[in-house]
């Protein structure tokens, strides 16, 4: 287990965009560059969830999860004792390293473009797999081990979904991720979003009039990720 100091100086960096030169990739890379300047490169762990996808969960994953739930708060280190089949063993071998990497990171950086008003399937597959029963619960206290986790989510939206916009109610991205990480026990102030909006303005003709708004939103996002990484 990492010391508190080592964990604080560790970054898990996830990208989920299927576009190689996406806004979220550029912004998350900018955060990572600034973070490495402050903390050094050794604590940075990166996974491209689009190029190196997490396999979707299977019936064997669910069967093992239900068995664990029946036994109360079972820490990840003791799940092996409850495995009954080779399929469950394979599922757990895919799952445990992701849980350990997530738990061990002081900061988790997620690049999450808006796809169809929500998050990409590549990110949802990672979420589904790490959300294993009891994985983030202290078996002695029943409290979350993620209380001090820092989550930074960098999003890109082709339109505008911020407060007061006509499509504010169509945003199932930020509310979902806030609810998800909050449900895991991450403190409310531990989850930060950096949203770049109107990113399609330069591409889609009928959005051309919003190019100034898009440029301003992107500039603010670029400044925000550097400021967050430097904390």
Annotated binding residues for FMN:
17, 114-117
Strand, helix or coil at 21? Answer: coil
Name beta bridge partners: 11: 44, 107
Residue 92 has which token pair?
Answer: 């757990």
Residue length of the chain: 231
Name beta bridge partners: 40: none
Strand, helix or coil at 118? Answer: strand
Q: Residue 170 — φ and ψ, nearest 5°?
A: -90, -5
Residue 188 has which token pair?
Answer: 């409310």
E strand map for the chain: 11-15, 44-48, 107-113, 150-156, 191-196
Q: What strands lie across the sheet with 150-156, from one edge to the other?
A: 44-48, 11-15, 107-113, 150-156, 191-196
Annotated binding site: 17, 114-117
Residue 1 has which token pair?
Answer: 């287990």
């Amino acid at each position: 287990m990492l010391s508190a100091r080592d964990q604080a100086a560790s970054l898990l960096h996830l990208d989920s965009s299927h576009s190689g030169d996406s806004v979220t990739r550029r912004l998350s890379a900018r955060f990572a560059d600034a973070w490495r300047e402050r903390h050094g490169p050794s604590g940075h762990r990166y996974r491209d969830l689009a190029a190196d996808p997490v396999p979707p969960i299977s019936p064997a994953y669910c069967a093992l999860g239900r068995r664990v739930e029946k036994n109360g708060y079972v820490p990840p280190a003791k799940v092996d004792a409850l495995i009954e089949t080779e399929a469950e063993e394979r599922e757990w071998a895919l799952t445990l390293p992701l849980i350990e990497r997530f738990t061990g990171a002081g900061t988790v950086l997620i690049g999450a473009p808006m796809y169809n008003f929500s998050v990409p399937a590549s990110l949802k597959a990672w979420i589904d797999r790490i959300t294993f029963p009891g994985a983030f619960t202290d078996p002695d206290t029943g409290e979350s081990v993620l209380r001090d986790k820092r989550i930074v989510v960098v999003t890109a939206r082709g339109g505008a979904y911020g407060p007061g916009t006509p499509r504010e109610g169509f945003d199932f991205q930020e509310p979902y991720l806030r609810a998800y990480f909050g449900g895991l026990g991450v403190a409310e102030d531990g989850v930060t979003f950096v949203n770049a909006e109107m990113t399609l303005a330069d591409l889609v003709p009928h959005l051309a009039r919003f190019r100034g708004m898009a440029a301003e939103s992107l500039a603010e996002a670029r400044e925000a990720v550097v400021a967050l990484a430097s904390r």
